[in-house]
Amino acid sequence: MSTTLFTAYGVVTFAACMFFFFITLSNSVWLMRTFSIVPKRKGPSVAVLIPARNEALRIRPCIDSLLQQHYSSYQIYAIDDNSTDETWEILEEYMLRYPGKFKAFKAEPLPEGWYGKPHALQELAGHVKEDYMLCTDADTTHRPDSIGKAMSIAEKYNADLVTGYVHHLMPTFAEAAVVPSIYILTMLGMPLYLIPWTKSPIISHAIGQFMFFRRSFFERIGGYETVKQRATEDVEMARVVKQHGGKIVFADLRDIVDCRMYTSYEEAIQGIAKNSYDYLGKNPIILVMGTVAVPLIFFIPIIVCFVDIPLLGPGLAFLRASAILSFCSWALETIDRRLPWYVAFIYPLIFVNTLSSLWRGFHLVNKEGGIEWKGRKVR
């Protein structure tokens, strides 16, 4: 009886890892297709929106890169979200230097019931008159074809929202052991290639570092007010777009935007905790299920590659094959996303850090009233 049970466990694990490899491979093929789209240099007008809270150390490269765009018709709008550093002074400096291209505003005090980033973007959007809006983060830097590439993708697929994976910089081992967790969803079950062709809000995804909206559609759905109290406002906004019949394209943007999300291990864990636990809908049952499933599917197969356990019987071969498939999935993701070469070898550590972040999010939200982020608490 036990042999049959362990064999079934091995077969199920192998089937799951085979599915994950197929998802990873098919998503890589889809992203490769969007990667090859040629940027435009002319077209409808575009507004670039930059929310900034305490970004004095990082916002200059972002603005400088956006001022060098090849696209002919665009305007940059930035908003200081009640910063306590020199962010506003920097924005004022750019307004004086580039009065015809750059505009900056000070955000109102954060209203009750709003999180900072959705409120800053919603307030900033009220100043926009252009046909399209690119919402981007202050820690990004853009290549000269950033806007033109987004416009080409939007027009090719008649999209109401273009988003995608930028090139995430991870110069330290600490960052590389945490940040790749942002790819786990699209490796384990989110078919990016189906997002433009399905109406289901469940099959949607977005990355807040790059959100390129058709402005008329953005206004029709109520903008960021619909997600005003979500830490994962980007993912939730994608679902809202789908709920209102909009079309989303999730593209490969690694050739046009760079971003270093975090600069330390502690910051990375805190940031992932803020986003990942909210993505689960703050559901502890899903968290417990994931905590049980990850060791069964990913850790035990690695162990049995080095330790012979006769009790597993025929299941042993399936588990070892599962470990190989998991490594291949991470190797493919490492190459596709241009991650540090060793990421494929430390993926168990990435899973451990992801689970650690999720449990930290659970603890902070339920025991301490929220997760501290840029001087504010996010529930």
Q: pLDDT (tens digit, 0 to 9) for every residue of the chain, 379 residues total?
A: 477 888 899 999 999 999 999 999 999 999 999 999 999 999 999 999 999 999 999 999 999 999 999 999 999 999 999 999 999 999 999 999 999 999 999 999 999 999 999 999 999 999 999 999 999 999 999 999 999 999 999 999 999 999 999 999 999 999 999 999 999 999 999 999 999 999 999 999 999 999 999 999 999 999 999 999 998 999 999 999 999 999 999 999 999 999 999 999 999 999 999 888 888 888 999 999 999 999 999 999 999 999 888 777 888 999 999 999 999 999 999 999 999 999 999 999 999 999 999 999 999 998 888 888 888 888 7
The answer to whether 163 touches 238, Cβ cutoff 8 Å, is yes
Cα distances from 26 to residues 33, 184, 372, in angstroms, run 11, 14, 37
Q: How many CB atoms lie within 10 A of CB 38?
A: 10
All structural domains of the chain with their residue ranges: 2-27+268-378, 29-262
Beta bridge partners of 249: 162
Q: What is the pTM of this model?
A: 0.95
Q: Which CATH class is domain 29-262?
A: alpha beta
Quick one: tokens of 150? 């987004």
